[in-house]
Amino acid sequence: MARLSNWPLQRPWSSLTLGTTPLNVRDVGQLANMNEGSGKTWFGAKTVFRHPGLKREPGKSCYEERVVLIHASDEEEALKLAEQEANEYADGSATKFLGYVNILRMDCTLGSLAEVFSIMRSTTMEEDEFVTHFYDDGTFHTR
């Protein structure tokens, strides 16, 4: 996962893990074939964290939303694996997993341009107001 260069890395961005098994970026293309005959499917899992030690502005907390790939038999297993991964990500550091997990079953072939996560909101906000309120309010740390 890419982070700002002055942020501490917990995992190199150029690698992925499947459970606890590291995967080299060159192997990612092989992930698409893992569904065949396995009885499992891919899920995108969004988790939320607080980084108490990363204070860019006095009095403000830094939060992180992460989306990881989960290979699981069903939604229940995907949630369990996502929670386990989130706890492992935060373990041994000041990072705190906030207990929030949201999953999306990926009903597509895993590969370039595959949707790994999606969330929809209903609101009375106009388009510009919506984008500013949820995505461009000046508080994001660009990666």
Residue 52 lies in a domain: yes
Question: N- to C-terminal Cα distance for the chain?
Answer: 10
pLDDT tens digits for range 37-55:
678 888 999 999 988 877 7
Q: Is residue 110 a part of any domain in this protein?
A: yes
| CA proximity to 90, closest of 70, 60, 64, 58 | 64
What pLDDT is stored for residue 20 in this prediction?
45
Into how many domains does the chain fold?
Answer: 1
- 98 inside domain: yes
115-140: pLDDT as tens digits? 887 888 888 989 889 888 887 777 77
Q: Is-above-0.85 flag for pTM? A: no
**Per-residue confidence band for 3, with pLDDT thresholds at 50, 70 and 90:** very low
138 in any annotated domain: no
Q: Which domain covers residue 106, as residue numbers?
A: 15-116
For residues 49 and 97, the answer to whether their CB atoms sit within 8 Å is yes
Name the burial class of residue 82, with classes exposed (0-12), middle (13-18) and buried (19+) by CB atoms within 10 angstroms of its CB: buried
Give the Cα separation of 37 and 19 in Å (integer). 19
Q: What pLDDT does residue 9 have?
A: 32
Task: Find the mean pLDDT for residues 109-116.
Answer: 79
Residue 136 lies in a domain: no
Of residues 80, 59, 56, the one with CA closest to residue 70:
80
For residue 84, tell me if it sits in a domain: yes
- Token look-up 């830094």 returns 62
**Does 109 map to a domain?**
yes
Residue 139 lies in a domain: no
